[in-house]
Structure 1
């Protein structure tokens, strides 16, 4: 009887276990709790808004070379995280997204399909096999979008990239960009040199990606279908254009402005004053300010002066990754931005906007008057404007917040005046020279055709900015995801400390080696000896001394390496002791106390029943 009851109990437990799993998978699977520090397993509110706005089904094709990546644990672990995130997208979309997982084996139809989508085939598999790790999507109109390769270095922007792809497929209309400028960006007669000039390289790139219209600053209106308004060094704004910019911010609210305190690329104005960009009335109303010219000895680039010598230009700056904000999608993956006579961007204390810096100078920069900089004849003379009051200045900024019109009423006839707007996004770059070809591309002739090779990311900057502004407001609210992998900071600190000591002793050994070799060379020259076949007693003594010193230093280096390994091993030993021994002991002790407590309560209850 007991045996039958035991078997029945085991059977009931098995049925209960299977039933619980089925109930969890069918009804409770959508309920999750993300306990990670930066919520890396949950979707942002912006992403959920993008998913809710999908009108027609979107097909996502996730390509990962499962077969070719065997033996690549790092890449496979990241791929599993990407797959998990894509599955979360599919669940949250409630049938509007269909996820297809594809393993593009070599010479298969799946590989041909990956190539058709334009995915990158990285030669990193065994025997040089192509590895695909990307995402492609289609909608009901057969529009396509893709992420060529999921770069682990861009892990923090993984959610943004996927949400952007889905948004492009759910809103496939081309982005319309209006460029307000009187510079010959599309080609024409250059104002300083006179002859006809071809279009600027950045403008040719924009024309390939967006629907671009060039509007004169003297015009009275901006096209109604404009998604992003770009201001590039307008010299003078008509009253109608000034008002049109104001009203565009009230409605669409997406503006990219390249405003320059001293535009160098077209020379000086006839009056001898520096060419400064016209400032829209809206920007003054919002408290946006661009002051002076930033001079930075740490970031100045080398240029040729009038005497054909190479000197450092304190006003022509090369902004590297340390100066660019790696947490913002616009500047995260840029390496170098070159600019000339950049100004310092700031907000007044009563501005309704919030400012996020995209690029800053070094901490050793000084602010000079633009007129004085323009009047300086020699590059070397710019050093006279350096001051002791040095600091880091904001050179590019992203501004957001509610906006209020700078006009009480419409100065020209047109649509109804709008007095305010919500959630405007304005990006300000305090330089327009950076869009000139000579600061970021090199021209060469290839069989009669001009080929432009970029040596800086100036063109990528304006494309990234327009793409970011052109996206839905939901995309702008998507946060950067935290990194899944958590480094062993304590181990890294131990390694860094030991490596610093290692490099110091290694440099000491190298210095001793150079000193001994110099001494030997001097003695050989004095003795007229060109080889080491006949060494004097003094030379042999020095050589023996060198060999002894080298052996001692190498022994010291081995001791340092041993000390490094010993410290790390000791740390690992204590961690193992805590995890394997101490944690179970604590758990057993807690269970023991709980059992004693339950026994006491049961005993009291039993005695109460007996009474």
Structure 2
């Protein structure tokens, strides 16, 4: 009896302790400030470093007005809560320089929920409401379907935002539940606080064939830049085949798949641009279809003459082809059975991506159709004043071959003795002190009036070379769809931001990127399958045995 009474006393004491702990924990969380834990992979609900830096350095107060109707249904049912949580973080990190208001406009067009005034006063009240309300900022009602127990109706609602900074303002007219809210808000704050003269312009080199020579290219790029950057970044075509100088307003240059030889005068202009401490990217597919027979798998090399220039800085683009017969995407390919979807070795998947670099951070997978390899010079690797960044590498299963004459599926599927095994670098960047290609020789053209011949970079220059120039363009005919081209476009945008040395928005923009399912090897597949079939039952068996031993020991103690 004594043992039984002691057991009851111990159990009661244990229960009272648990209850006391629960009470203390509940009281603590009741009086403590609200805390949130973000368990998402991309930290979707945590303010990025770029946003924190942006609001920490505000020199003038910012007011954000969120106009959102009440009692919204899915998918907008938690829209207000998400935005409230996010804006609260902005306000905390701004140290009081950013305030926000949540306003619930009435669905009705009445000027006020109270009884309307009469005569001139009513007209004055309506005018004040229009100026301070959503319509005063150009935010209009959005029609959405509304379901109730009795009917399905169309409801006109508000869900917009105005961001005010002094006498300037930015407006988001419609907030969608699928939007990257942090990026949209931070982008508009950055637009408001950035002076016009501090905004960047990227030049795309024209005059040597390729997509940039198209009349619609710069317009389409600027349309995309406007949606992504607002007024922070614009694009211009720089025709170096005509003018051998680069305009002063250009902050970075991009060579995108030129198809014709670049003359020495244009190369010298690029070299001196880099020596000024600015950024240049060269994105090149080293082969193209035979224009006489574009539908056949035959290919011919693209000879631009740029390779020696970039090799002198430390990055050599090789005239070769990367094949990966294990890790590649399924694409429409000409075979002896006709045009059929097969795993195409010329479209390798790259998962060895340097996430320590802001250019490739948070990009899980890339695919470069018809990629070529890069060789990083040993002199660049040994240069203490130069940072070499290997951005993207192939898998170990990849091979490279020098024969570019044919892309016949039957030919590329056959292993060749001349093939070299990977991994290989297919995209790399340099940052730091660079030496001019013309440091020890006479330049092809005398410097412009008032300019000097620069033999070394005056500041930390930036150079990117990628062994492909098509990764941002979807091609549904070959199977290179939007899933991969959107990741490629993000890679290009990050690259441009890095070249102009404005990296605040990179980490914010990458949130919510599409995730590509990783290819699983046969051995891994068997391991996962056995784990699912055998591992789970064995785990529960061990748990059951553990409980059985515990209860047996407990009964033995009670008996004693």
TM class, shorter-chain normalised? 0.5 to 0.7
Aligned counterpart, 2:415 = 384
Aligned length: 436
Matching of residue 342 in structure 1 with residue 366 in structure 2? no
Instruction: Give the conservation status (yes or no) of the 8 Å contact 2:285–2:467.
Output: yes
Q: Going by fraction, where is helix more abundant, 1 or 2?
A: 1
Matching of residue 85 in structure 1 with residue 89 in structure 2? yes
**Per-residue CA shift, 1:311-343, capped at 9, x if unaligned?**
7575531547x4666676655676875533211
Instruction: Give the conservation status (yes or no) of the 8 Å contact 2:333–2:344.
Output: no
Structure 1 pair 204–344 and aligned structure 2 pair: CA distance change class (3 A): same
Q: Give the whole-Å Cα distance in 1 for the aligned partners of 2:496 and 2:136.
A: 25
Matching of residue 284 in structure 1 with residue 311 in structure 2? yes
Q: Calculate the TM-score normalised by the size of structure 1.
A: 0.54
Matching of residue 401 in structure 1 with residue 432 in structure 2? yes
Instruction: Give the conservation status (yes or no) of the 8 Å contact 1:355–1:400.
Output: yes
Structure 1 pair 71–480 and aligned structure 2 pair: CA distance change class (3 A): closer
SS at match of 2:421: coil
Structure 1's unaligned 5+ residue stretches are: 1-28, 30-37, 189-197, 444-451, 484-497, 506-555, 571-611
Structure 1 pair 250–171 and aligned structure 2 pair: CA distance change class (3 A): farther
Q: CA RMSD in A?
A: 5.7
Instruction: Give the conservation status (yes or no) of the 8 Å contact 2:211–2:256.
Output: no
Structure 2's unaligned 5+ residue stretches are: 1-32, 34-41, 109-129, 226-233, 513-526, 549-560
Aligned counterpart, 1:363 = 396
Determine which structure has more spread, i.e. the larger CA radius of gyration.
1
Matching of residue 303 in structure 1 with residue 332 in structure 2? yes
Structure 1 pair 458–500 and aligned structure 2 pair: CA distance change class (3 A): closer
Q: 2:163 aligns with which of 115, 121, 137?
A: 137
Q: Give the whole-Å Cα distance in 1 for the aligned partners of 2:141 and 2:462.
A: 32
Listed as ranges, the matches of 1:158-557 within 5 Å are: 163-171=186-194, 173=196, 175-181=200-206, 182-185=208-211, 199=216, 204-207=220-223, 209=225, 210-217=234-241, 219-234=243-258, 235-251=260-276, 253-264=278-289, 274-279=301-306, 283-291=310-318, 292-297=320-325, 298-305=327-334, 307=336, 308-310=338-340, 312=342, 314=344, 316-317=346-347, 319=349, 322=351, 338-351=367-380, 352=383, 353-369=386-402, 372=403, 374-376=404-406, 378-382=408-412, 383-385=414-416, 390-408=421-439, 411-414=445-448, 415-418=451-454, 419-434=456-471, 438=475, 456-457=485-486, 460-461=489-490, 464-465=493-494, 468-469=497-498, 472-473=501-502, 475=504, 503-504=532-533
SS at match of 1:213: strand
Structure 1 pair 433–475 and aligned structure 2 pair: CA distance change class (3 A): closer
Q: Calculate the TM-score normalised by the size of structure 2.
A: 0.58
Aligned counterpart, 1:599 = none
**Per-residue CA shift, 1:245-298, capped at 9, x if unaligned?**
1222233523232123334486799xx951144326652232112233211112
Instruction: Give the conservation status (yes or no) of the 8 Å contact 1:143–1:172.
Output: no
Q: Give the whole-Å Cα distance in 2 for the aligned partners of 1:339 and 1:261.
A: 12
Instruction: Give the conservation status (yes or no) of the 8 Å contact 1:344–1:393.
Output: yes
Structure 1 pair 239–478 and aligned structure 2 pair: CA distance change class (3 A): same
Q: Give the whole-Å Cα distance in 2 for the aligned partners of 1:479 and 1:144.
A: 19
Give the Å deviation of 1:439.
6.2
SS at match of 1:343: coil
